[in-house]
Structures are given as C-alpha cells and as structure tokens.
Amino acid sequence: MTRCRICSGPVREFLDLGRQPRSDAFLPPGELDGEFFFRLAVGVCGDCAMVQLTEPVPAEAMFHREYPYRTSQSARMTEHFARTAHRLVDGVRDRPGAFVVEVGCNDGGILPALVRAGVRHLGVDPSGRAAEEAAGRGARVMTAFFDKASAAEIRSAEGPADLIFSANTVSHVPDLASVFAGADHLLTTGGRLVFEDPYLGDVLARTAFDQVIDEHVYFFTATSVREAARRFGFELVDVEPLDVHGGQLRFTVGRPGRHPVSGAVAGALRREERDVPELDAFAARVGRVRDELTALLRALRDDGRSVVGYGATAKSATVTNYCGIGPELLPFVCDSTPAKQGLVTPGTHIPVRPPDAFADPYPDFALLFAWNHAEEIMAKEHAFGAAGGRWIRYVPDVRVV
C-alpha cells in the first residue's frame, strides 16, 4: 500500500493516467532514444486528506538549469504578480529593513515589483537559466532548491525573513517537510509563509485532469494544508481563492498563535466538507473527456479538416499521452517559448512551431491546451476567429467554440 508523504497514512488511488513522460522534457526530433516515462496516478490519504501523486518523479529531474517555463511570457500572470507584490509589500512596509524571499521565482515572479519598491529581497530557484534572467532584470537571486540547508545559508548572509512567498512551487516539492523546515529556520517569529498553488476543488469542478502532471505532486485544499501545517509546526491562518491558472488557493501560514485566523479558513473547510470528496466521479468524467476528445479529432481528420494545437504547455503532455494524440491528429503545436520551438512534445513527439506558423495559413480548428490563458489568447488571436477558425476546448468538457 502507498503511504502518505505527509503523515504516513494509507493512500487510496483513484485516478490512473497511465504511462507519461516528464511534462516539460521537450526533445530534439532526432534524440528520442531513452526518453523517461513513469506511471502518473493520484491518490488521497485517508488520515490527512492530502491528494498526491502516488509515484512522483524526483524534483531534480524536473527542475534544472534548462527548465523551459517562463512566468514573464504571460501578461496576465505578470499583472497578477505585480498586484500580489503590492499587497505583500504593504504588509511588511512598517518593518525596518524588511526582507522578502520568493521561493520558485523563475524569471521574475514578484521580484521585479520588489526591486521597484526598494524592498530587500532574494529569489530562490533551482532553474539556473531562469534565475539568471531574473537577475538580469535587477533582482537578487540564489540558484538552489529551498530547504533547511539553503534557508540556513540565506539567514546567515541576510538575517531572518519577514515573509516567504511562493507561487506554483510548494505543491511541486515531493519532500514538503523540507519546505516547512526551511521556512521555520528562515522566518522571524512573526513571519509568514504565503503560497499559491492549484486548488483541488477547482480541478474537480472543472474536470481539469491536465493539471495532473509530474510537477504537481500535491493538490492542496484548506483541509489538507491545515493538517500539514500543524504537523510541521505551523498554523493555517488565511486562504484566498485566485482566478489564475485554472483556479488556485493562496494559503498563509504562520507559527501557532502569532496571527489571527481569518474566517475564510473556516468557510473553506465547510465548503470542502460538502463539495470536495467526489474523487471517483471525477475519474469517471476524465475517461469520458478522453473518449469524446479523441473521437472529435478523428472525425475532423477523416473529414479533411485541419487541426493544430495551441500552447505546448506542461499540461498538454498529460492530455496528448493519456488520450493518444500524436502527429497523425495534430501535425504541430504552436508555442511562444523560444526554448521549445523546433523540438517535439514529450512522449507523443508532436513538432513545436513558433506562433507565426499558426497563421501560415490558419487551420480550421485549434485545440487550446493553454486554456487557463484563454481570454488573453483569444484576444491576441482574434484574426483566427475572423477567418472562420474555431477553438476546441476540453475543460470542463469537450466543445467547439
């Protein structure tokens, strides 16, 4: 039986998405031998309610110097982090010499806003090239995984942190205890750890099965984070829903008794007790989406209609591999990330082409993998719709728009 990495309780598996590659391991077309695969499955702990991958990939295999994702390429996320930084700075502005650490800063995150505000800061990220790009924008960065050892190094050089912020990173770390140990060592007595990650409630409600990738080791809820924080010597003091990346929660934890507990925590716990446990029904819906999506793509192909993918996201690897979608159904995927262009998608080996290929000429249909940026993308690609093109969506269900 699989045991929970948080509390060692029994984990019941409820979703198996089969053999999958690393979601961001894009490859040159001629270098496909030895591609890494693993079984992608999700379970829930019967003791602490933490939903988690049952066979996670080591963090070092996913997050490395050449990690291709870049936060700054989404205008919406850039705006989101600027607003977030403004709020966080307001919370520490009255502390002389306040120090803010961003864990998993990628090529910027909240760091550019902290630079502009003159706040003493440090970004921490194991992806060296992305961290170098953040440094090129004036931020102070450290290339490392965040844990107790790196936290001790930071504290020795900089002193304690008033705030640690992290976005789309804490849920990626298999050894969650190491993150909390680092926070415990680095934070001031009244310091806070604030992190935002995909919310299980939104994943279930939207049938967003493509949120299940190697990088998303945990799917947090207020219930599971409260229990994990308690076990690691912290207290959940606030939660806030966020309408980014397909639905997230922002969690705030601190040392017990140091902060008032927001009423939002009790409200989230009540909602989860009522709404979240439908795990087996979710798995059944995922199977239906797979069958309907592949049937649609095959029917369009057989009818002579052209279809391409839009957005070579990490999430797209789950969709294409689980559904068996390869170049025979999608001849290529367009993506704006230069590091992915000219490569092929993990597992299914669909060529990745730059954005200008999308209009050369426009296809009849575009399968929108980057659905969490749909508003931004559709505004940018309005000429596609004007030319008669239509988008294929699969979250929360398969439909043509």
The answer to the question of residue 172 being in a domain is yes
Q: Quickly state the pLDDT bin for 277 (edges 50, 70, 90).
A: low
50 and 82: one domain? Answer: no
345 and 392: one domain? Answer: yes
pLDDT tops 80 at residue 243: yes
The answer to the question of residue 118 being in a domain is yes
The answer to the question of residue 64 being in a domain is no
Give residue-wise pLDDT tens across range 114-140: 999 999 999 999 988 888 898 998 999
324 and 293: one domain? Answer: yes
The answer to the question of residue 345 being in a domain is yes
pLDDT tops 90 at residue 167: yes
SS3 readout for the chain? CCECCCCCCEEEEEEEEEEEECCCCCECCCCCCCCCEEEEEEEEECCCCCEEECCCCCHHHHCCCCCCCCHHHCHHHHHHHHHHHHHHHHHHCCCCCCEEEEECCCCCCCHHHHHHHCCEEEEEECCHHHHHHHHHCCCCEEECCCCHHHHHHHHHHHCCEEEEEEECCHHHCCCHHHHHHHHHHHEEEEEEEEEEEEEHHHHHHCCCHHHCCCCCCEEECHHHHHHHHHHCCCEEEEEEEECCCCCEEEEEEECCCCCCCCHHHHHHHHHHHHHCCCHHHHHHHHHHHHHHHHHHHHHHHHCCCCEEEECCCHHHHHHHHHHCCCCCCCCCEECCCCCCCCCECCCCCCEEECHHHHHCCCCCEEEECCHHHHHHHHHHCHHHHHCCCEEEECCCCCEEC
Q: Quickly state the pLDDT bin for 276 (edges 50, 70, 90).
A: low
pLDDT of residue 370: 93
246 against 353, higher pLDDT? 353
340 and 312: one domain? Answer: yes
166 and 82: one domain? Answer: yes
The answer to the question of residue 275 being in a domain is no
- Domain with 184 in it: what CATH number? 3.40.50.150
Total number of domains in the chain: 3
- Domain with 354 in it: what CATH number? 3.40.50.720
The answer to the question of residue 155 being in a domain is yes
Of the residues 168, 198, 228, which one is the last residue of a structural domain? Answer: 198
* For the chain, percent of residues with pLDDT exceeding 70: 99
Mean pLDDT score across all residues of the chain: 94
45 and 78: one domain? Answer: no
Give the pTM.
Answer: 0.92
The answer to the question of residue 308 being in a domain is yes
pLDDT of residue 291: 98
pLDDT tops 90 at residue 74: no
25 and 136: one domain? Answer: no
116 and 43: one domain? Answer: no
81 and 37: one domain? Answer: no
Give residue-wise pLDDT tens across range 305-342: 999 999 999 999 999 999 999 999 999 999 999 989 99
175 and 290: one domain? Answer: no
pLDDT of residue 245: 83
The answer to the question of residue 100 being in a domain is yes
Domain that holds residue 46: 11-55
109 and 50: one domain? Answer: no
395 and 321: one domain? Answer: yes
